[in-house]
Chains A and B, each alone.
Chain A
């Protein structure tokens, strides 16, 4: 079990038996692992599983939500991607597909926006008043007074260019160039009146292609007044100048139209960008990052996000590795669930042995996962006090008793690594320092501990717990030398003990305050049992320094 590799499944264009094929998978994703996703995950890199339809995958199983999608750092509007229930059930989402335009064909570009019409604040576009490119500009819903009616404007055009590629990852080419620097004016207005809510521009693609649309650049003039910066501008491409035509293509230009129009308004006012961004590609070449909420407890019945370590451990054991639902002691798991409530984030993207993930969970939430001798796996928490049934060993049962103070285990600084960014592979770090380690024990060593913790407050408290410097109810006390007691016990005792359990010692001589032990608790680190002579050997640590 410890060596089972997680994640188990991979992206394949042609998958082996039992796995899913993705024939239109982005080329560089072949054979990489399909991630397993726990918690609130930010800035993860999705894989394009269908470069034709623009379908992306972030996890192998159903996820709770897509919170945000960014393209080259630009926050995409919800209208630009899809995250439907069926898509989320597969750990997927979609983006609008890259428009594909036919060589030599005629198209119509439609621009519309949604800012309020008040007659004073509106956008203007540069226009060619002399028909250099043709008589290709149309007003829609306009002077004719008929909604949806297209009215051609003689000898008028927008000033615009269109770029494209012959392959989705190919080089960009200027395909349509409707610029002429004589006789231009800022004459085309949009939403200056209720009759001018849309404008259209006819264009003809050059021969060749088909062409993947990569950029539309429209020159705009200074706006009238102060149009709202929160408007959404939509660009559509249709194939016929028909009032009833259904838009053939909706170009994903996002908020504020800055990807299309070289002048735009944002929160700080009017801006001019002489080089609008390239349009996002539906294929695997986009630089997409996604914020998601990962797996749920038991969808569709229980859609609670899995973000507690007990639920992550159970899900990995049962649903990823195929263990029995009762393979982990149910009561222990319940205790872990109620006592270790710090949120977890874990995006498992590369094949790693289960043991590596387990050790990260153990270190971050201070528990041990181990066989119980009762036929299941136990989960034992670092807690103070004496559990019921703790064996009390005395001089009559103990032999060869020795104690050690392990100075080399003292650390001055505890660094807790938390919230791994899967795209950059960087952790956040919380840190705590101990003056006791430095001034009493002359140690200035640091210990760095990787965790799956989500929040800074939990990581900071854990750093204090590890050093024992304050707050909280758990202490590992690495600011002090570890106090080890090692001894044999007579026949019979020790056979039902496992590490993490405690024993109580009463002995007349010991390295301890007063020179003896009177019912002092030690936690077991090692049990060595010899069935042939019935003896056992225990290695323990002083519980008062490690609860």
Chain B
């Protein structure tokens, strides 16, 4: 049962996930051709403030088109595919014509999820950084009208993230946070993953930085296509 009420005194945990983008077609990134094939690879081992490697992308888009994850053998021969080499943390992609993805013709973006929570937490087997500010989650409004009135609309305000340790000082520059998918979940501390409920699914908007906190405005999912 998603987010059953339980005891009013039981601690709630709020999780916030942002699918940030990493542009990897331009300097300082450079690509190496995989032999004489159409695949090119790049070391994809950028680390965050706490030394966490970004690892396997959640998705890869080239010029706005979603590429398909595939085997290395297929990536070598098939355009519009990518492959993640887990042993070397290398990302292989095959763009149209099998040319260098960094040649200036393409905008290549690898996506990865940044995970935050109101307390240190593990959800779905993945750690969540305790950077969601206490009492920083605004109310959510999700409103529609009659069938003839149109205009379904969600509003959410902004989420504040703790920045006292400077996590976002470089991360906001290393990655693209604006206009990216943001999901929030709510559940009781220690509850099973399935008992957490998604209560917001939308896009990030404006971002304000201070030494102590970063505030990310949240936009309705219907401001963009999925």
Contact = CB atoms under 8 A, between A and B. Distances in A.
Contacts of A531: 12, 14, 137, 139-140, 184, 186, 199
Interface in A51-106: none
Nearest to A361: B150
A377 B226 contact: yes
Contacts of A409: 146
B142 interface: yes
Contacts of B105: none
Contacts of A193: none
Contact of A500 (B144, B184, B197): B144
A491 B198 CA distance: 15
Question: Chain A interface mostly helix, strand, loop or mixed?
Answer: loop
A20 B14 CA distance: 49
A366 B201 CA distance: 24
B144 A496 contact: no
B148 interface: yes
Interface of A: 1-4, 317, 321-324, 327, 355, 358-359, 362-363, 366-377, 382, 397, 409, 447, 449, 466, 476, 490-493, 495-496, 498-500, 525-532, 534, 539
B225 A317 contact: yes
Q: Which of B5, B135, B225: most chain A CB closer than 10 A?
A: B225
B56 to A, nearest CB: 19
B224 interface: yes
Interface in B126-153: 135, 137, 139-148, 150-152
B102 to A, nearest CB: 21
Given A1-B222, A496-B3, A525-B143, A476 B199 contact: no
B213 interface: no
Given A368-B152, A492-B6, A528-B139, 7 more contacts: A323-B225, A369-B152, A371-B154, A373-B197, A476-B147, A526-B142, A530-B139
A382 B224 contact: no
A495 B145 contact: no
Contacts of B64: 322
B103 interface: no
B147 A368 contact: yes
A491 B144 contact: no
B186 A371 contact: no
29 contacts: A2-B223, A323-B225, A355-B150, A359-B151, A363-B150, A367-B147, A370-B152, A371-B154, A373-B197, A375-B183, A375-B226, A376-B226, A377-B221, A382-B147, A397-B5, A409-B146, A449-B148, A476-B146, A495-B3, A495-B197, A496-B199, A499-B142, A499-B143, A525-B143, A525-B144, A527-B141, A528-B139, A531-B137, A531-B184
B2 A496 contact: yes
Contact of B3 (A4, A322, A355, A492): A492
B147 A362 contact: yes
Contact of A321 (B140, B146, B225): B225
A534 B5 contact: yes
A120 B4 CA distance: 94
A490 B6 CA distance: 10
B66 interface: yes
A493 B199 contact: no
A539 B225 CA distance: 28
Closest 3 CB pairs of A and B: A359-B150, A492-B5, A323-B225
Contacts of B4: 492
A169 B143 CA distance: 55
Contacts of A492: 3-6
Nearest to B195: A492
User: Which residue among B4, B12, B146 has the maximum number of chain A CB atoms within 10 Å of its CB?
Assistant: B146
Contact of A3 (B140, B150, B223): B223
Contact of A499 (B152, B184, B220): B152
Interface of B: 2-6, 8, 12, 14, 64, 66, 135, 137, 139-148, 150-152, 154, 183-184, 186, 197-202, 220-226
Contacts of B154: 371
A495 B5 CA distance: 10
B144 A499 contact: yes
A367 B146 CA distance: 10
Nearest to A416: B148
A397 B8 CA distance: 12
B225 to A, nearest CB: 4
A225 B73 CA distance: 81
A214 to B, nearest CB: 49
Contact of A375 (B150, B201, B225): B201
A496 B197 contact: yes
Contact of B222 (A2, A363, A466, A495): A2
A377 B147 CA distance: 17
A236 B146 CA distance: 62
Given A327-B226, A373-B198, A528-B139, A495 B150 contact: no
A370 B222 contact: yes
Q: Which of B3, B152, B154 has the most CB of A within 10 A?
A: B152
B139 A447 contact: no
Nearest to B184: A531
B145 A525 contact: yes
Nearest to B147: A366
A495 B146 contact: no
A324 B223 contact: no
Contacts of A539: 143
